[in-house]
């Protein structure tokens, strides 16, 4: 088990923020965990530690937002994400630690800049099988590699302007399906070592706490302030990872 205090200094707030995001804000900041933990361990190990925790969070989220998802969207997104997971699994051994740091950092920075700079959308777009299939595939791939499926999924879902609970329910079901589909290839690739599983077990107690905190905040706290703080932190950690990957 990891015993470095610096790891837990990064991992504990990361897990709580991801749980809060999943429980009340659609899980869009699920990509925050790997960049934060990658400051002290490799992105590959961070992703392996997070997967069991994410699976536990998904169970709590599914119960909290049961019956709230848009299944007409999910019937396109989930099969497409399975293709992305397969592509991610087949290419896993060809991605170096530096390349994964670059991917994580680039996704974090670009997602943050898109959030800050994109113009306000006035009219909702209509769902599209082609767009849903494409972004579902990208979601599956980025989620498999570094649990960073939130940005590509949001690129497709946010312009649809779903009702708040429907949006959160859809993302929770989507990522629950993706995370449980990832368990088999992660196991085959040897990601679930005793060190990773024991560390995940220690952090797992924070999973239901974070999700239930998010569910409570969903009805009481302005999500704009939560996102503003988290996006600043996400931009800083993403920039640090990009810098390390480029210099390395």
Written in H, E and C, the secondary structure of 127-194 is CCHHHHHHHHHHHHHHHHHHCCCHHHHHHHHHHHCCCHHHHHHHHHHHHHHHHHHHHHHHHHCCCCCH
Q: What is the mean pLDDT of the chain?
A: 86
Residue 231 has pLDDT above 80, yes or no: no
Per cent of the chain over pLDDT 90 is 38
Task: Tell me the DSSP string of 13-57.
Answer: HHHHHHHHHHHHSTTTTGGGHHHHHTTTS-HHHHHHHHHHHHHHH
What sign for the dihedral angle of Cα 234, 240, 244, 245? positive
Taking the C-alpha atoms of 134, 157, 92 and 246 in order, what is their torsion angle to the nearest 10 degrees?
Answer: 110
Neighbours of 202 (CB within 10 A): 15
Residue 101 has pLDDT above 80, yes or no: no
Of 33-37, 90-94, 185-189, give the range with the top mean pLDDT: 185-189
> In the structure, what pLDDT confidence band is assigned to residue 84 with cuts at 50, 70 and 90?
very high
| Predicted local confidence at residue 130, as pLDDT | 96
CA 159 vs CA 25, 73, 114, 167: distances in Å: 16, 13, 13, 11
| Predicted local confidence at residue 73, as pLDDT | 96
**Domain containing 158: what range?**
5-247
Span 216-241, average pLDDT: 76
Span 82-105, average pLDDT: 86
Residue 229 has pLDDT above 80, yes or no: no
pLDDT in tens, 120-169: 666 778 999 999 999 999 999 988 887 878 778 888 887 888 887 788 88
Residue 219 has pLDDT above 80, yes or no: no
Task: Give the count of domains, the chain.
Answer: 1
> In the structure, what pLDDT confidence band is assigned to residue 227 with cuts at 50, 70 and 90?
low
Residue 190 has pLDDT above 80, yes or no: yes
Phi-psi region of 221 (alpha: psi -120 to 50; beta: other; left: phi over 0): beta
């Amino acid at each position: 088990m990891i015993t470095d205090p610096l790891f837990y200094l990064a991992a504990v707030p990361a897990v709580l923020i991801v749980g809060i995001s999943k429980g009340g804000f659609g899980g869009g900041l699920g990509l925050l965990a790997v960049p934060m933990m990658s400051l002290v361990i490799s992105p590959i190990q961070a992703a392996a530690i997070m997967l069991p925790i994410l699976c536990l969070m998904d169970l709590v989220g599914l119960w909290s937002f049961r019956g709230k998802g848009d299944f007409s969207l999910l019937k396109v997104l989930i099969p497409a994400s399975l293709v992305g997971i397969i592509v991610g699994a087949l290419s896993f051994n060809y991605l170096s630690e530096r390349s994964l740091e670059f991917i994580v950092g680039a996704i974090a920075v670009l997602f943050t800049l898109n959030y800050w700079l994109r113009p306000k959308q006035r009219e909702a777009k209509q769902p599209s099988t082609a767009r849903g299939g494409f972004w579902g595939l990208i979601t599956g791939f980025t989620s498999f590699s570094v649990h960073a499926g939130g940005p590509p999924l949001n690129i497709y879902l946010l312009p649809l302007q779903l009702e708040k609970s429907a949006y959160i329910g859809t993302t929770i079901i989507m990522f629950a399906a993706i995370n449980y589909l990832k368990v088999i290839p992660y196991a085959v690739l040897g990601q679930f070592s005793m060190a990773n599983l024991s560390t995940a077990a220690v952090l797992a107690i924070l999973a239901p706490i974070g999700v239930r905190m998010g569910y409570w905040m969903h009805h009481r706290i302005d999500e704009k302030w939560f996102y503003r703080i988290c996006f600043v932190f996400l931009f800083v950690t993403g920039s640090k990872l990009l810098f390390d990957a480029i210099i390395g």
